[in-house]
Amino acid sequence: MTDNQQSTPNTSTVTTPAEREIHIERVFNAPRERLFAAFTDPELTSQWWGPRGTTTVVVEMDVRPGGIWRFVSKDSDGSEFGFRGVYREVAPPERLVQSFVFGGMPGYISLETAIFEDLGDGRTKITSDVIFYTNEERDGMLSAGMEKGMNESFERLDELLAT
């Protein structure tokens, strides 16, 4: 670990800079290529996607422009939650743009743009901008627990990247 790397867990910064938008920033203690792979390799994604206590099956993950992705997460009581979307842009290891639909809020489609920034010291900063059709859809996603689920997923990703 270099002097610049943090020994404490990283946290996400989540803001709503404009109507219809969620802005997320987070630093991971991993090289950009490894982090990008964790987002695009079905075997890796299934190991960290979803809050603690859930298991996720990557049903489909065709990582190319126009390719479809679909995940199903199951919690400890057997409840299932579906997520799906279409990749719009894939530029390894720098950028992913995809649509996102949470099965618990059908009809609400957001567009996510994730930038993977190499910080030059074995760490990578992800900056994500999520745009919704309406402010109500953005607020609905936040009230549905998006931030908590994302933070728990990212904690699981930290653990995977540490192995």
2 belongs to a structural domain: no
The pLDDT score that the predictor gives to residue 1 is 35
Across 105-124, average pLDDT: 92
Confidence of residue 2 (pLDDT cuts 50, 70, 90): very low
Please count the structural domains in the chain.
1
- Identify whether 3 is part of a domain: no
Domain annotation covers residue 50: yes
What pLDDT is attached to residue 6? Answer: 38
According to the 3-state scheme, what is the secondary structure of the chain?
CCCCCCCCCCCCEEECCCCCEEEEEEEECCCHHHHHHHHHCHHHHHHHCCCCCCEEEEEEECCCCCCEEEEEEECCCCCEEEEEEEEEEEECCCEEEEEEEECCCCCCEEEEEEEEEECCCCCEEEEEEEECCCHHHHHHHHHCCHHHHHHHHHHHHHHHHCC
* Mean pLDDT of the residues in the chain: 91
Kindly state whether residue 55 falls inside one of the protein's structural domains. yes
Q: Is residue 10 scored above 90 in pLDDT?
A: no
What is the residue range of 63's domain? 13-161
CATH number, domain with residue 43? 3.30.530.20
Residue 6 domain flag: no
Any domain includes 1: no
